[in-house]
Structure formats: structure tokens, C-alpha cells
């Protein structure tokens, strides 16, 4: 009997090799999410099933949006450190009795990224979108992601969040934006800039020039950071990163090295 030359197994991607948990099948791809943590580390376990849903995490009572970092309390510093961990690694929360994992970028999008109607709601399709996106990020064989979408499903804002999340925490990382026309790319960039301006100050690297640019959002001035042990602002190296849009053409972003391109 001749063996089949067709491999019917699904392509598998593990989101976190240090913590391999349940399998989530997306079309013909197996995505392994991290292991479910102990109950006390899952947000919302103390609530009744009917009240278990995604809710944005509340900031410490003493915190206000424009508070200088040198005035942060230990509680506020701890929140920022824990939030950055959630931004990188994701989090678990109870959703109608079911422990649910969201990736770090999805958490960043839900918790901090304002869209045209305020902060976005949790949607299962968005959870699957960000699972797939994270699989693309961690898979070294993947060259990118092509998304087939319908209108008004939030793709522009999710794309803006993906660019912002990565570029605003990495040195010498460039983000590029294109659309079907230059006018559309400009509008896309405008939405990203407004999203950036609405971020808490501890997630806004210092920028070069205005915080309402027309073509390029450039993080090219020395930033400031505060540590829990010193409670004082220290000079840090500028990110030297930027996000920009270009007119639609065959040679747009020619010779650029782009860490994120939408």
C-alpha cells in the first residue's frame, strides 16, 4: 500500500514556550496558549458567574493621569510594573465562568487604547485575531499576516495598537503605515496619534517635536524613567524609534527596515 504524501496535520505554534497550555484551533492552525495560572492570579474569580466579564483594571486611588513619575507611590510603581508584565505576557480573566487568556497586545488594546467609541469591548473574534497575530510574531517562519475583513470591525484601531505597542517600547524600531491612498494612510496615522496622546504618561516615550505630528511620530529625545528603589527620575537613552505614513506607491518605504508595517 502506497503511503500518502499529503501531511494532514495542522500547523502548530506555541505562544510561550516556557508555559505551554491548552490548544486553540484557528482554521488550520493550532495555537497553544500559556498554562492557566492558579485561581488567585485570574482576574474576576471572586465575582459571581453572571458578573464575570472583561473590565478595565482600575488605577490606584492616588494616581492621576498627569502625575509626575517622581511622585509615584510604591503602590503606583507596583501597578506600573505589573501592568508592563501584562502588556508583555498577557493576562487571564473570568468570562462568564470560563478562565480566558488574552495576549499582551490584546490587553494593551483593551486597557489603554481609545477608539472612536471610547475603550474597546472584549470580543471573542478579537481574542482570536490577537492569538493569530501573536502566533505570527513568535513564529520565525512567518513573514506577516493577511487579514480578510468586513467594514467597521475595528481593524484600523487594532493595527494602530499593534504598531504603538511595539514601537513605543523598543530601541531603533520603525513602524510604517500605508493604505489604498495617501489620504487614507494620513487618516490612519491621525487615529494612531490620537491613540498615543490618550495613553497614560508612563507609556508615552518622550518625542521629538509636537505630540500632534502630520507625517512622523518620532521618539528621539532622552526619555525619563523612575525606579521603585530610588523614586527619582533618571536619564535613559532615547528610543530613536519612529512611526510614519507614506503615500501609496511602488517604492514606498524602499530601503526602510520596519519592525511593524500595516
Cα separation of 244 and 109, whole Å?
A: 20
Terminal-to-terminal C-alpha distance of the chain: 49
Spatial CB neighbours of 76, under 8 Å, sequence gap ≥ 6 = 59, 60, 62, 63, 67
Grade residue 231 by pLDDT with cuts at 50, 70 and 90.
very low
Q: Read off the pLDDT of each residue in 88-94 and give the average, rounded to a whole number.
A: 97
User: 86-90, 126-130, 221-225, 250-254: which range is least confident on average?
Assistant: 221-225
Instruction: Report the alpha-carbon distance of residue 129 to residue 120 in Å, rounded.
Output: 14
Cβ–Cβ under 8 Å, residues 219 and 203: no
The pLDDT score that the predictor gives to residue 223 is 45
Angle at 234 between CA 230 and CA 239, to 5 degrees: 135
- Give residue for cell 505570527: 136
**Per-residue pLDDT tens digits for 153-164:** 889 999 999 999
Confidence of residue 167 (pLDDT cuts 50, 70, 90): very high
Average predicted confidence (pLDDT) for the chain: 89
Q: Where are the domains of the chain?
A: 9-112+116-153, 165-262
pLDDT mean over 213-219: 93
Amino acid at each position: 500500500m502506497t503511503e500518502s504524501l499529503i501531511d494532514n496535520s495542522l500547523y502548530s505554534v506555541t505562544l510561550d514556550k516556557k508555559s505551554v497550555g491548552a490548544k486553540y484551533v484557528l482554521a488550520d492552525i493550532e495555537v497553544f496558549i500559556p498554562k492557566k495560572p492558579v485561581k488567585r492570579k485570574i482576574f474576576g474569580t471572586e465575582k459571581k458567574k453572571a458578573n464575570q466579564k472583561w473590565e478595565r483594571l482600575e488605577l490606584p486611588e492616588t494616581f492621576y493621569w498627569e502625575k509626575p513619575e517622581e511622585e509615584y507611590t510604591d503602590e503606583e510603581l507596583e501597578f506600573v510594573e505589573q501592568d508592563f508584565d501584562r502588556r508583555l505576557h498577557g493576562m487571564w480573566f473570568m468570562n462568564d465562568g470560563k478562565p480566558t487568556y488574552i495576549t499582551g497586545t490584546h490587553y494593551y488594546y483593551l486597557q489603554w487604547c481609545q477608539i472612536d467609541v471610547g475603550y474597546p469591548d472584549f470580543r471573542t473574534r478579537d481574542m482570536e485575531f490577537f492569538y493569530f497575530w501573536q502566533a505570527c510574531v513568535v513564529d520565525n517562519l512567518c513573514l506577516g499576516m493577511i487579514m480578510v475583513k468586513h467594514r467597521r470591525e475595528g481593524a484600523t484601531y487594532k493595527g494602530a495598537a499593534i504598531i504603538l505597542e511595539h514601537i513605543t517600547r523598543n530601541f531603533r524600531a520603525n513602524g510604517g503605515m500605508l493604505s489604498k491612498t495617501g489620504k487614507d494612510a494620513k487618516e490612519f496615522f491621525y487615529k494612531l496619534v490620537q491613540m498615543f496622546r490618550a495613553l497614560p504618561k508612563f507609556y508615552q516615550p518622550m518625542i521629538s517635536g509636537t505630540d500632534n505630528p502630520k507625517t512622523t511620530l518620532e521618539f528621539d529625545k532622552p526619555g525619563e524613567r523612575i525606579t521603585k528603589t530610588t523614586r527619582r527620575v533618571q536619564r535613559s537613552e532615547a528610543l530613536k524609534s519612529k512611526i510614519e505614513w507614506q503615500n501609496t506607491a511602488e517604492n514606498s518605504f524602499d530601503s526602510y527596515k520596519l519592525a511593524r508595517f500595516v
